[in-house]
Amino acid sequence: MANVVVQTLLEKFPESVSPAPDFRDEEAVCVAREGLPEVLRFLYADPDTEYRLLEDICGADYPEREKRFEAVYHLYSVKTARHLRLKVGIGEEDPTLPTATGIWKAADWFEREAFDQYGIRFEGHPNLRRILNHEEFVGHPLRKDYPIKGRQKLTRPSNLGWDERKSAGNGGGSDAEAGQPEQMILNIGPAHPTTHGTLRVLARLEGETILEADPEIGYLHRGFEKTAETLTYQQVIPLTDRLNYVSAMMNNVGYCRAVEKLLGIEVSKRVQYIRVIVSELSRIIDHLVCIAANIVDIGALTPYWYCFRERENVYELLEALCGARMTTSYTRIGGLAHDLPDGWVDKCREYIRERVPRGIEETDTLITKNRIFVDRTMGVGAISGEDALNWGFTGPCLRASGVPFDVRKANPYYDYDKFDFDIPVGSNGDTYDRYLVRMEEMRQSLRIIEQALDGLPEGPISIEDRRISLPEKEAVYTKFGALVQHTKLIVDGILPPEGEIYSVTEAANGVLGFYIVSDGTKRPYRIKVRPPCFAIFQALPQLTEGSMIADLIATVGSLNIIAGELDR
Amino acid sequence: MGIETSSILRNTALVEPVDAILNWCREYSCWPYAFGTACCAIEFMAVAASHYDISRFGAEVIRFSPRQADLLVVSGTISEKMAPILKKIYDQICEPKWVMAHGACACSGGIYDNYCTVQGIDTIIPVDVYVPGCPPTPEAFLDGLIKIQKIIEGESIRDPKYCGE
Ligand code: SF4
C-alpha cells in the first residue's frame, strides 16, 4: 500500500516526477517545476487519492545545491488517511513557481510565507506580499546567509493603505470602489480587545456591513524557525512551549514525537500514556480559555470566572508535574523530564471527576441555551465542510463544519485507538457549532484521561540509549561514567541520521505538524511548524463577508487564534 | 490635577496633604491598559480572573483604550513590527502614567534574540517596574503592581511631570 501513490505518480508523470530518498516510510517525491501544476491538479482530483487538504507549503534553502531553494508541499488525503510530500527544487536566478491557490485556497498564506521568508515567488498568486515581517523589511530572513540578528526597524506603525495592500503581486484586485464616499475602511487592532493583542483586521464597510475583511498578521513573529536552526534538538523544546502557549504540553509532545520519528525510536508505553494525559488536560485548558475569551468578547463576563477557576485547577496539576504553569517543557526526546510525583494520579482523578466537569457543566448551564448567546452566534461565521477543508481547516473548526477528521482517530498514535471516545461534529460550521464542539471535546478528553489513568502502565520514563537520554541527576553527581555521558550529550547533542520527516499530532486547534530536516549534525537544518490556526485565520474574509462588525468579533473569538503559533 | 493647579499649590504648605490624598487615590485605582501580545498576557488574564483577583488591589478596571488608562502593562514579546504601535499607544496615554514591563520578553527580549524581536521595551518607552519571569507567576505580577503603588506613593505635585516641565 505504502507507495502506491508514488508509483502512480512515477508512471503517470515520468518526465516531471522522480523518487525522493526513502526515509522512515514516508511517501515523498521530487517534482520538476514545469510539471507541478499538472501533478497537483491530478492529486487533488484523482478519485483514488483525493488529497483535499493542503497541510503546508514551506521553503528551504540549500546554498550548496545547484537548485538553491526548495518548496515543500505536504498534502493529506482524508479518504486514505495518508500524507504525501512533494519537493520542488528552484534555482536562485529565477526563484519562481506556479501558484497552487487555484486548487487549494489554503495555499494563499503558505505561499506568502515562503515568499516572505525565502523569496520564492509564486506566479499567479492573487496578492503576494510579506506576511510575517513588516513591509519595510529588506531581504528574506530564513535564507541561510541572512544573519540571525539582522534586525530591521519599522519606522511607522504598519499602515499600508487598502490599495497598497490589495495591489501587491500580480494582478491583485485593485479597489476602485474603496474610495467611494459611502464606504469606509475600519482598522481593528492590533491593540483592540478582541484581537487579543496581535491580530489586525482591516474591514471595508458599507454602513456596518462588512464588504471585505482583510487580516494582517505577524505582530508576534518571534523567529522560532530561524532560532531553532541555531539550537540543538533538546534546546528547541522550550521554544515549542511558546508556540501555542495556552496548551504548551501539546507542542512539547508534538515536537518530541517528531524528533523521535527522525531518530527512529519509540518511547515506552508509560511515557505514551502520560503524554496522552497531559495532552488531554491541555486540550481542556485550551478549550476553556477559547470559550471564556470568546464569550467575554461577545459581552458576557460571568462564564469567564467559571472557566478560569477550572483552568487554575488543571494548572495545579501541571505545575506539580513540571514546576511551571504555562511554559512546561515537560517532555524530553525519548521520554519525559520527570515521572509523575507521588499521589498525582489520585489527585488528577479527583480533579477530572469532580472539579473540571463542574466547571464545564456550569458553563454549559450559563451559556448553551442562553438566548443572547444563541442569537449572537447561530449562523454567524458559517462555513461548509468542503470549503473548510479547502482552506486548510483542521481541529474543532473543521469538525464543526461536519467533517469528522481527527488525527487521533485517522492516524492514531500513542494508543489513541485503544481509548473509547467520540469525535463530536457540528452541522452548520458556525460560531455556535464551534462552541458546542469544543464543549463536547472537553467531555471526551475527560473520558480519555480517565481511561489512560486506569491503564497507566509501569515502565521507564526515558529511553535506554546513552546517545539520547541524559542519565539520572543522582548518578551524574556520584558516578564518573554518568558525568561523562551527561557532558557528552549536552556538548555533542543528539545526532540524528540525515533525512527529513513530517510528523503530525492533533493539537487543540487542529493538526500541528513538524517538518524537520536533519543534516546529521546536532542542530536541525530546518524546522517548519505547521500551525493549525494559520490556515484557519486566512479564511476570515470568507467567514465574515456580508456580516456585521459585531459578528466579526464573535467569529474571530471562536476560531481560537493563538498568536504564538500563528506568527511563530 | 491640572498643571496650573499644581503650579499654584507647589509652593504652599498644602503640598503634603494634597500629595497624600492624591497619591492614595491614584495608588488604589490604577486602570491598567493590557498591552498583551503573547504568553504573558494569558497569565495576565489569570491575574484578572477569580483565583488571583486583581480587584483586591484596586486595579480591576482593565481598559483597552489608552485614553482611559494610566498603567501600561506590556505583557509579551514585542516584535519590530509591533514596536511603533507600542510607542504610539504609550504616547496616547495621558499623564500621569506608569509602565510595567511584564515578563522577560518585555524586560529584555527574553529567550528571543533574533531578526524580529525588540530587546526590551525600554529601548522604545520608559519603564517603571520590571517583572521577571517567563511567564511571571501571577504572584510576581501582583508584586510588581504593589511596587508601582509604592512608586505612586512617593510622588509629589512638585515633581516635574506634574508641573509640565
Ligand atoms: S517572557 Fe516568556 S512567557 Fe512571557 S511572552 Fe516572553 S516567552 Fe512568553
Chain A residues near residue B121 by CB distance under 8 angstroms:
none
B2 domain residue, yes or no = no
Instruction: Render pLDDT for A396-442 as a digit per residue (tens, 0 to 9).
Output: 999 999 888 888 888 888 888 888 888 899 888 889 999 999 999 99
ipTM value for the complex: 0.81
B77 domain residue, yes or no = yes
Inform me whether the C-beta atom of residue B32 falls under 8 Å from chain A C-beta atoms.
no
Q: Which of A397, A399, A439, A436 is nearest to A556 (CA)?
A: A397
The phi, psi pair for B156, rounded to 5°, reads -145, 150
The span from the first CA to the last CA of chain A, in angstroms, equals 36
Q: Is the CB of A183 under 6 A from ligand 1?
A: no
pLDDT of residue A167: 52
Among candidate residues A123, A138, A164, the one where a domain is terminated: A123
Q: Which residues pair with A528 in a beta bridge?
A: A515
Q: Which of A38, A170, A18, A35 is nearest to A103 (CA)?
A: A38
Kindly report the CATH number assigned to the domain that includes residue A398. Answer: 1.10.645.10
Alpha carbon distance A235, A493 (integer Å): 9
pLDDT of residue A362: 87
Chain A residues near residue B64 by CB distance under 8 angstroms:
191-193
Among candidate residues A181, A216, A251, the one where a domain is terminated: A216
The torsion of the CA quartet B114, A494, A566, A86, rounded to 10 degrees, works out to: 110
pLDDT of residue B165: 54
Chain A residues near residue B137 by CB distance under 8 angstroms:
325
B73 domain residue, yes or no = yes
B71 domain residue, yes or no = yes
Contact A197 B35 (CB under 8 A): yes
- Host H or E run for residue A60: strand A53-61
Task: Measure A94 CA to ligand 1 centroid, in angstroms.
Answer: 39
Alpha carbon distance A509, A520 (integer Å): 32
Alpha carbon distance A146, A134 (integer Å): 16
Distances (CA, A) of A444 to A280, A347, A360, A451: 9, 19, 12, 11
Q: Which domain, by its residues, includes A12?
A: 4-123
A190 domain residue, yes or no = yes
**Sequential pLDDT tens for chain A (568 residues):** 457 888 888 888 888 888 888 888 888 888 888 888 888 888 888 888 788 888 889 888 888 888 888 899 998 988 888 888 888 888 888 888 888 888 888 888 999 999 988 888 888 888 888 888 888 888 888 888 888 887 888 877 656 566 666 655 433 344 444 455 577 888 887 777 666 667 888 888 888 888 888 888 888 888 888 898 998 888 899 989 888 888 888 999 999 999 998 888 888 888 999 999 999 999 998 998 888 888 888 888 888 888 888 888 888 888 888 888 888 888 888 888 888 888 888 888 888 888 888 888 888 888 888 888 898 888 888 888 888 888 989 989 999 998 888 888 888 888 888 888 888 998 888 899 999 999 999 999 999 999 999 888 888 888 887 778 888 888 888 888 888 888 888 888 888 888 889 999 998 888 999 999 998 888 899 999 999 988 898 888 888 888 888 888 888 888 888 888 888 8
The reply to whether A278 and A425 lie within a common domain is yes
Structural domains in chain A (count): 3
pLDDT of residue A1: 43
The reply to whether A498 and A384 lie within a common domain is yes
The reply to whether A482 and A527 lie within a common domain is yes
A132 domain residue, yes or no = no
pLDDT of residue B144: 92
Q: Which of B42, B39, B119, B106 is nearest to B72 (CA)?
A: B106
Structural domains in chain B (count): 1
B21 domain residue, yes or no = no
B40 domain residue, yes or no = yes
Contact B39 A156 (CB under 8 A): no
Alpha carbon distance A438, A560 (integer Å): 11
CB atoms inside a 10 Å sphere around CB A8: 16
The reply to whether A393 and A510 lie within a common domain is yes
A198 domain residue, yes or no = yes
Kindly report the CATH number assigned to the domain that includes residue A66. Answer: 3.30.460.80
Question: Which of B113 and B3 is assigned the larger pLDDT?
Answer: B113
Q: Which atom of ligand 1 is nearest to the CA of B111?
A: 7
A109 domain residue, yes or no = yes
Cβ-contact B98, B69 below 8 angstroms: no
Q: Is the CB of B42 under 6 A from ligand 1?
A: no
The reply to whether A321 and A460 lie within a common domain is yes
- Max Cα–Cα distance, chain A, nearest Å: 79
The reply to whether A383 and A495 lie within a common domain is yes
pLDDT of residue A255: 92
Cβ-contact A297, A553 below 8 angstroms: yes
Q: Which three cell numbers stand for residue A444?
A: 471526551
pLDDT of residue A175: 47
Chain A residues near residue B93 by CB distance under 8 angstroms:
none
> Which of B33, B35, B39 to probe by mutation at the A interface, max A CB count within 10 Å?
B39
Q: Which domain, by its residues, includes B120?
A: 31-155
Q: Which atom of ligand 1 is nearest to the CA of B107?
A: 1
Q: Which three cell numbers stand for residue A430?
A: 458556525
Q: Is the pLDDT of residue B47 over 80?
A: yes
CB atoms inside a 10 Å sphere around CB A230: 13
Kindly report the CATH number assigned to the domain that includes residue B95. Answer: 3.40.50.12280
Give the contacts of A337 (CB within 8 A, at least 6 positions apart).
Answer: A322, A329, A330, A331
A161 domain residue, yes or no = no
pLDDT of residue A514: 92
Q: Which three cell numbers stand for residue A266?
A: 519509540
The reply to whether A439 and A410 lie within a common domain is yes
Cβ-contact A276, A448 below 8 angstroms: yes
Cβ-contact A454, A268 below 8 angstroms: no
The reply to whether A211 and A237 lie within a common domain is no
B22 domain residue, yes or no = no
The reply to whether A426 and A495 lie within a common domain is yes
**Which residue's CA is minimally distant from atom 3 of ligand 1?**
B135
B7 domain residue, yes or no = no
The reply to whether A178 and A239 lie within a common domain is no
Cβ-contact A432, A367 below 8 angstroms: no
Of A149, A311, A325, the CB nearest to B137: A325
Alpha carbon distance A267, A241 (integer Å): 20
- Max Cα–Cα distance, chain B, nearest Å: 54
pLDDT of residue A181: 57
Distances (CA, A) of B64 to A160, A295, A548: 23, 17, 21
